[in-house]
Structure 1
Amino acid sequence: MFSGEMFLFLHINSIRTMSQTILSLKNVSIYQENNLILSDINLEVQKGEFLYFIGKTGSGKSSIMKVLYADLPLKEGEGTIVDYNLNTLKEKDIPYLRRKIGIVFQDFKLLSDRSIKDNLIFVLKATGWVDPIEMDNKIQEVLEKVGMANFAHKMPHQISGGEQQRVAIARALLNDPELILADEPSGNLDPQTSIEIMEVLKKINANGKTIIMATHDYALLLKYPSKTLKFEDGKVFEVVQKSV
């Protein structure tokens, strides 16, 4: 018979262990409409991990990303992400899920008709922020994290592709997400700029954020090795990099 103190200790540890799992997929298969894209995926991602998804274009990396941020329904298997059950997720819950996930796209997706600051204000207002001073402070904070603090009043066309991607990463950080999904974030960038973006992402990861990054840039994997899942022939499997 456990004492009350011992029970409390075990209960707290149980909660802590559960809360460390950011993403869990069990026996998951992913479909685009009725076409099977990936099958038999089993994956657990813990808080603070940096995980690569690699594979050729069309191998399913973007499809699994869409399932994770609820753009595609999970039809087969079990999935939870940032404490949301992907099997039972309702339409009205999707905006709340996405507030706990930061998403970085290959093509930046900045609004071209407004400044960098106004792009970020748009996201904050859409996710429930109302106080102008709090919004200004948050925008300054996230832009500083990506080295773009002096660019708030620039228009997207006035800055480079790499700078636009930095802003996109800042945008993903606005609501202090538990997980960042980066879908080919260096896909439209030259090699040197890709390295700069990776440095930003690795710094964010070093500060405790969990990051899943889809890429087909093997040079980045060699320079910044981390746990890697390969997508090939409708399957997903872990690959281990061997040092030469």
Structure 2
Amino acid sequence: MKNAVLHLENAAIYQRDNLVLSDVNLTIDKGDFYYLIGKTGSGKSSLMKTLYGDLSLKQGEGSIVDFNLKKLKEKEIPFLRRKIGIVFQDFKLLSDRNVFDNLKFVLKATGWKDKEAIKNKIHEVLEKVGMKSQYYKNTYELSGGEQQRVAIARALLNDPELILADEPTGNLDPKTSMEVMELLTEIHKSGKTILMATHDYQLIVRFKQKTIKCEGGKLFEVAQQASV
């Protein structure tokens, strides 16, 4: 358990008052990469939202990056989100400011004050995602793939212990999806732990990782497919 970044035991996942997943048992250790798959409505998003504190864990046990999900208080959620990076399907960038200021906004909101440190950190994460030269552009000037790269850079800002990627390629064309997936694979190789919800089976076949599936109200690990 000492390497577990995420641990759920006999957990029940609710979407409002509806039970969507029961008896969830899951342990993700430092350095793991898991895909989370399942049809729309199978509970993937509800599970993700429970992990980053949008939905509360009502039954069972759960811990994520040393936070107890069962006892998580509203005021602790910002601190939890400093230790995890979240990448959304629809990027969730602020359209009224440029790339640099999008990232600066997050750092300031999470307690960074030193201007030089802020600037250095932003250029460091933009370098990692291949967007350093575009730091001055407004987000609406960027392509979907570029916006997702900025969103991934944003997820890396506070050096998270775990990255939760919720359908990160859902709004992208196949070529751009591959590029984003290659980037996430590089980030994983650098030592990051990733849980990625996806319905893109091309990616799962091409970039093989452990896979868990939501189906019929349960969560279970899927056997590795043979190489294609």
Structure 2 length-normalised TM: 0.98
Give a deviation string over 1:93-141, Cα, whole Å, max 9, x none: 1111110000000000000000000000100000000111100000000
1:192 aligned to 2:179?
no
Distance in 2 separating the partners of 1:242 and 1:44: 21
1:81 aligned to 2:81?
no
Partner of 1:135: 118
Q: Which residue, out of 24, 30, 33, partners 1:50?
A: 33
1:234 aligned to 2:217?
yes
Give 1:241 deviation, angstroms: 2.7
Q: Which residue, out of 164, 168, 173, partners 2:147?
A: 164
Query: 1:106 is paired with a residue of what secondary structure?
Result: coil
Give 1:240 deviation, angstroms: 1.2
Which range moved further: 71-80 or 29-38? 29-38
Give a deviation string over 1:22-57, Cα, whole Å, max 9, x none: 000000111112111111110000000000000111
Which range moved further: 29-38 or 161-170? 29-38
Distance in 1 separating the partners of 2:94 and 2:15: 28
Kindly, what percent of the aligned residue pairs are identical? Answer: 67
Over the residues paired in the alignment, what is the CA RMSD in angstroms? 0.8
Give a deviation string over 1:66-106, Cα, whole Å, max 9, x none: 00001100001000000111111111111111100000000
Structure ID, larger Rg: 1
Distance in 2 separating the partners of 1:176 and 1:76: 30
Structure 1 length-normalised TM: 0.92
1:106 aligned to 2:108?
no
**1:1-244 correspondence runs (5 A):** 18=2, 20-243=3-226
> Which contiguous aligned blocks of 4+ residues in structure 1 show a shift greater than 2 angstroms?
none
Amino acid paired to 1:163: E
Partner of 1:9: none
What residue ranges of structure 1 are gaps of 5+ in the alignment?
1-16
Amino acid paired to 2:134: F
Distance in 2 separating the partners of 1:200 and 1:242: 23
Distance in 2 separating the partners of 1:89 and 1:188: 31
Size of the aligned set, in residue pairs, is 227
Give a deviation string over 1:175-226, Cα, whole Å, max 9, x none: 0000000000000000110000001101000000000000000110000011
Which range moved further: 88-97 or 136-145? 88-97
Distance in 2 separating the partners of 1:33 and 1:136: 40
Partner of 1:6: none
Query: 1:228 is paired with a residue of what secondary structure?
Result: strand
